[in-house]
Amino acid sequence: MRAAIEGLNIQYPRTSDSHDSDSNPKAKYIYSPVHRRVDAPSLGRRFDNLKIYSAQSVVGAMLINVNLLPMQLEAAPRPPIEEVTVDRDPLGHPCPRQFRDKVLVDVIHDGSSLPSVFRLDQRGVSILGDEPFPPGFVRERDWGAELVANRLASALGLDSYHRVNLARVLMDFGRFPGITSAGADHLHRYAINYPFSDRLNHEQKRSVLTEHYDRISDGLESAMEGKLLKIAIHTYDKRNPTKFERPAVSLLTRPYGYQALVENPFPHFDPSFPSRVIEYTADRLLKARIAQTLEESAIHTADNFPYSLPEGSVEVRAQVWYFYKNVQSIFERAVGPSTATAINGRCPRKLVWTMLLDTNLRSAESQSLRSYLHMFRTAPTGKKALFAAAQREYEQITDFIQREYDYLVSSYREGPQRPSTILVEVRKDLVWEFDDGRPIGPRLDNATYIARKLALGISQYLSQDRIFKERSSVNKGFL
């Protein structure tokens, strides 16, 4: 379909009919720029035994533009990450005005771009072939995730959402940098996916990380600065490998290390990081409010199912980053500027903060300092004095964390000032049409309905639950 190549623009056509959606069988999606029309799924279609719109046709209420990435795998150059503006949904549930710039919606697994420099292997052979829908691309993409993110940002009254344009079949920003081996399961992958991890040459792999992973990291870090709530939208398959049907929605906030009851849940981060800070990555009231709102709308909602958050997920990495940013802010105000002398023009304390905030594990110098501090390895040539001074700064910071543990860890963990990062999984088949596994097009009605219910729960949390967050402290005497 030509529209899928050029970009997908979906509109609700205006109608004069405001009756039940079943009475408007002529409702269609309009794909531009070629204006080709295809029949949309009936607005009366059942969704988990619930009619999506049983009272009034949303089609008759407004005109909505939804600009999405193309369906087909494309070689067109796109920025690795992009901020996409949206129109406000007049039937949405805007979050309180004071939180409009404190909420971030993002989608990292619905990209369509595979730059031409990564299409051929070391022998000049196409890695995925030339078809527009390679099986690996179809399997790895979170179909409909951007559609839900778009509708959620609109329903919350936000100006935009952020999307990763790079196809997940090449690189998954939700994992630590590295190469994935053949047969690696979902929770034990690295950023560069197989078979690209095997067939790209060394410089191509480096380029994937430096030109895409790092730029996405910089973009998201900038977008996350000052936010209190980050909502990541993903979609998952209809059935588990055992063929049991998955819930319509799953809310993920528990890291895999906690779920698996491992002794050290976060081995990749600095030992000074107190793991109890992120037993969960989002306020439990937020997760509970969203789950209740969805269940009240007959949308089956699960909790950390069928998997939990891998350590390399954006949600977990963000929590470690937020924690050290908070410690840095409080430490610098309490202790004041460093008195250590700069060595070769380098500030030892800044070196330590860079290491602690390197939650993407991309800095070779930070990795070298970690090795020096925790594995007692020899400092690189010419950096012995710098690393020794950094060790003294590191000890001062970690002593501060231990001394102010109640405030920096216990109070922060439960406090309203701690940002929440929650991952929302929606079943692919509910928001995207498939024909025998082949993606056909968006189910805009379902995506809008789910997004509005998510927005309702989030807005209620921000306007009601968060205000009374401190009430939980009353129970701490016996919990």
Give the span between the Cα atoms of 43 and 444, in whole angstroms. Answer: 9
7/453: higher pLDDT? 453
C-alpha 444/C-alpha 424 separation (Å) is: 18
The tens digit of pLDDT for each residue in 33-77 reads 333 333 333 333 444 434 333 333 343 445 667 889 999 999 988
Q: Phi then psi for 279, rounded to 5 degrees? A: -60, -30
3-state DSSP: the chain helix, strand, coil percent, rounded to 5? Answer: 40, 15, 40
- How many CA atoms are closer than 13 Å to the CA of 438, on its beta-carbon side? 8
Residue 11 has what pLDDT? 57
pLDDT at position 476 is 54
Least trusted range by pLDDT, from 143-157, 249-263, 451-465: 249-263
Residue 2 has pLDDT above 60, yes or no: no
pTM of the full structure = 0.87
**Category of 344 on φ-ψ map: left (φ > 0), alpha (ψ -120 to 50) or beta:** left
pLDDT tens digits for range 202-243: 999 999 999 999 999 999 999 999 999 999 999 999 999 888
Predicted pLDDT of residue 448? 96
pLDDT at 23: 34
Residue 80 near residue 216, CB atoms below 8 Å:
yes
Mean pLDDT, to the nearest integer, of 349-362?
A: 96
What's the CA gap between 215 and 81, in Å, rounded?
7
Q: What is the pLDDT of residue 470?
A: 59
Q: Is 22 or 330 the better-scoring residue by pLDDT?
A: 330
At residue 266, the pLDDT reads 79
Task: Please tell me the distance from the alpha carbon of residue 166 to that of residue 157, in angstroms, as a whole number.
Answer: 27
Q: What is the mean pLDDT of residues 288-304?
A: 97
> Stretch 248-272: mean pLDDT, rounded?
85
Q: Which of 41, 111, 25 is nearest to 76 (CA)?
A: 111
Give the pLDDT score at 340: 86
Torsions phi, psi for 46 (to 5 deg) = -80, 145
Task: Provide the b/e sequence for 212-238 (b: ≥16 CB within 10 Å).
Answer: bbeebbebbeebbeebbbbbbbbbbee
pLDDT surpasses 90 at 3: no
Q: Residue 21: what pLDDT? A: 36
DSSP secondary structure letter of residue 323: H
CA 225 to each of CA 18, 32, 61, 149, 397: distance values in angstroms, whole numbers, following the listed order: 43, 35, 36, 20, 22
Query: pLDDT confidence of 359, banded at 50, 70, 90?
Result: very high
How far is the C-alpha of 209 from the C-alpha of 215, rounded, in Å? Answer: 9
